[in-house]
Chains A and B, each alone.
Chain A
Amino acid sequence: METQIMSCESDDLNLKATELRLGLPGTDPALEKQSSNKRALSEIDSCSDAKNGEQDRRAPPAKGQVVGWPPVRSYRKNCLQQKKSEADGSGMYVKVSMDGAPYLRKIDLKVYQSYLDLLKALQNMFKCTIGVYTEREGYNGSDYAPTYEDKEGDWMLVGDVPWEMFVTSCKRLRIMKGSEAKGLGCL
């Protein structure tokens, strides 16, 4: 009955039913993301076919935001957006602290696709081992346990809620010593 953290990705069936997302019915963000690069190429195909006949070119779809276009460095793009997101805590850039480390780091949650991604990055960043999450036991047995503060100010264990919900509600992260995180394991 143990559910590994990886079940968040592979055991989609269970989570999708209860997952809260913003989006038009029938759209799957995962699918859209994968095809974004390839779509640009196929647009070229259809565009050059139409070119010879038509006067008015079919404009590219407004919602077809392509990776890296327009070519503006993300730091310039983000400066306004970041200020807004910091203000309403929508959880894109969050601070990460680790018990015992003298410094903080800041990460952009949008960069990660899943808990596995995020934990790998945190382990690299702080040179620590975090271990495996189980629904019942939390991170029991690990040296460190990642926790986060959500929009309501509660401290939760990273992995308790579906990934999408986590990304939008996480305000800051704290990597606690495993022993201290015991209390958070049971919700």
Chain B
Amino acid sequence: MREDRPPPPPSRGGAYSPPPPDQVLENVLEHVLQFLTFRRDRNAAALVCRSWHRAEALTRSELFIGNCYAVAPRRAMERFRRATAVTIKGKPRFADFNLMPPDWGANFTPWVTSMAQCYRALEKLCLKRMFVTDEDLELLASFPSFRELVLICCDGFGTSGLAVVASKCRKLRVLDLIEDEVTDDEIDWISCFPEGETCLESLIFDCVECPIYFEALERLVARSPSLKKLKLNRYVSIVQLYRLMIRAPQLTHLGTGSFSPSEIVAQGDQEPDYSSAFDACRSLVCLSGFREIVPDYLPAIYPVCANLTSLNFYGEACFLCLQVLDTVRDAGLQAVGATCKDLRELRVFPIDAREDSEAPVSDVGLLAISEGCRKLQSILYFCQRMTNAAVIAMSENCPELVVFRLCIMGRHLPDHVTREPMDEGFGAIVKNCKKLTRLATSGLLTDRAFSYIGQYGKLVRTLSVAFAGDSDTGLKYVLEGCPRLQKLEIRDSPFGDSALRSGLYRYYNMRFLWMSSCRLTRRGCKEIAQQMPHLVVEMINGEEEEVKEDYVDTLYMYRSLDGPRADAPSFVTIL
């Protein structure tokens, strides 16, 4: 390892002395490193030697913090002094499903406080699963160059915080609120955008459960010529959607709002020509919404179907998408398979998200999609019934799959035709989809499924497991077989201390491990904590105060440079 370079020789009598060779090299390095954009490449460059480490740190403009507790804000900001774009992720994903009590942590305040001193020139911020207050937003809005705010699955703020951002961030280009919980402070934040032309390129607020003043929105869209992405909330009716679309035919991404009228429309009333509005949006590639769909209006989107690369539906909407095929709801997916040949991403959500509900989509729909959409890269599919055959077919028809998330809503359900476990289906996915990096399993699975994952899932980085497996062996297959595994989240599966121990040498290379309602004991977790000093091992208790059995409710463990956090609430025990 190089030592710090020696000071330059003193100059004589004001004559120009060329910089020492080391410094020339460093300047060149900094220039060259600016071309490195991928995080992984930058991390590799930083490991070469000290001067590369230093040069890389000074040239990194995008800072990514995968776990807000893995490093203290100060430490990160002192290493990367010139970052202008920051992404921070907080809570683990299973917190979205009420598997973790609220107030667990992931507070944004300490980060924004440090940013106020170290990153005054901040331009872009993306937060996922963080707790963000209105005061935090107000502080952010005071940064003079701030122009992009993306909040995903965050909570803790309300429309009053949004109002401050809208009014104070003069250069705001992106305001994306994705699946956040936003309190209704009864402030019309849309009206808070300043008058005159805006630089808005993206405005996403479909998750904001507050009414908005439509005229203000319409005026805002009219004076935002750069607007490409617009996702409306359910308080925007289909008539209002029409008015917005004709003002913004340049849209590439559209979230349709409720897609239903706000009042009953009498027969024979003159209705706007929705089809032509959709037709006029020639650049539309991403469509979502349909929160309260009325079937009659769906044919309007047919003109754009051929261009769609990303589609978000509710299950029931799929059936209604193709009126010609009457009753079978998978038929809607068959229509998608038949028309959306370039589809890259599909998400099918259940409209009735209960275990025993009647789901309108099944293995038939999945098969149809796999046959029609050969370029599919990412799928999230909720259903009640599935077969290995359909999953195997998808693995063969869609070799480009990077993300495969299948949720068979009934727990432990086997293939509904053969009554076999779903092992072969998921096995085929990991075997045939050679680019797969993210996998979520469901249905009845034995340890065999995990042996497949361990054997073939060499690129898998994220794995979600629920109600699956027979024994510790299942988890061992995965921990020993998947070298790229970063994020492993498991619930309600019979994996215990022995399996946990088998992954000991892996955990420093992973971002986190989550195991809830499994068979871990406190002693087993403590062993890990003692052997791995840089792992933070959190035991999170559910509702109960006393531990009834020796099994741990929830284990959440992650590597950290700065030791256990100081803000852990009472229901978290850090071993």
Contact = CB atoms under 8 A, between A and B. Distances in A.
Are A and B a genuine interacting pair, yes or no?
yes
B97 A105 contact: no
B412 A60 contact: yes
B571 interface: no
Interface string A44-79: 100110000001110110101111111111111101
Given A60-B410, A103-B158, A68 B97 contact: yes
A105 B185 contact: yes
Interface stretch (B302-310, B349-357, B391-399): B349-357
Contacts of B543: 33-34
Given A66-B411, A106-B183, A40 B492 contact: yes
A21 interface: no
B382 A104 contact: no
Interface residues on A, range: 35 or more
B214 interface: no
Nearest to A64: B355
B335 interface: no
**Residue of A56, A65, A103 with most chain B CB atoms under a 10 A cut-off:** A103
A151 interface: no
Interface residues on B, range: 35 or more
Interface string A133-163: 0000000000000000000000000000000
Interface string A109-144: 001000000000000000000000000000000000
Contact of B410 (A34, A48, A59, A106): A59
Nearest to B440: A71
B184 A95 contact: yes
Given A48-B470, A62-B355, A105-B183, A72 B350 contact: yes
Contact of B350 (A64, A70, A82): A70
B556 to A, nearest CB: 14
Given A33-B543, A69-B467, A70-B355, 13 more contacts: A37-B553, A41-B517, A41-B519, A57-B414, A65-B354, A68-B97, A72-B382, A73-B96, A73-B179, A76-B353, A82-B209, A103-B158, A104-B184
B94 interface: yes
A13 interface: no
Given A67-B99, A70-B407, A77 B184 contact: no
A60 B443 CA distance: 12
Given A37-B517, A67-B98, A79-B234, A103 B185 contact: yes
Contacts of B187: 103
A84 B407 CA distance: 27
21 contacts: A34-B544, A44-B493, A56-B419, A57-B444, A60-B412, A65-B355, A66-B411, A67-B97, A67-B99, A68-B97, A70-B353, A71-B96, A73-B153, A74-B96, A74-B97, A74-B98, A76-B179, A83-B292, A105-B183, A105-B185, A111-B102
B285 interface: no
A20 B405 CA distance: 43
A69 B494 contact: no
Contact of A70 (B98, B186, B409): B409
A75 B185 contact: no
A80 interface: yes
Given A44-B467, A57-B444, A103-B185, A79 B409 contact: no
A41 B494 CA distance: 8
B444 A75 contact: no
Interface of B: 94, 96-99, 102, 153, 158, 160, 179, 181, 183-187, 207, 209, 234, 291-292, 349-351, 353-356, 382, 407, 409-414, 419, 444, 466-467, 470, 491-494, 517, 519, 542-544, 548-549, 551, 553
A32 to B, nearest CB: 12
Contacts of A75: 179, 181, 207, 209
A105 B210 CA distance: 11
A14 B31 CA distance: 77
B291 A79 contact: yes
B419 A55 contact: yes
A68 B94 contact: yes
Given A71-B466, A75-B207, A76-B353, A44 B492 contact: yes
A61 B409 CA distance: 13
Contacts of B350: 70, 72
A64 B349 CA distance: 21
**Residue of A40, A48, A68 with most chain B CB atoms under a 10 A cut-off:** A68
A106 B355 contact: no
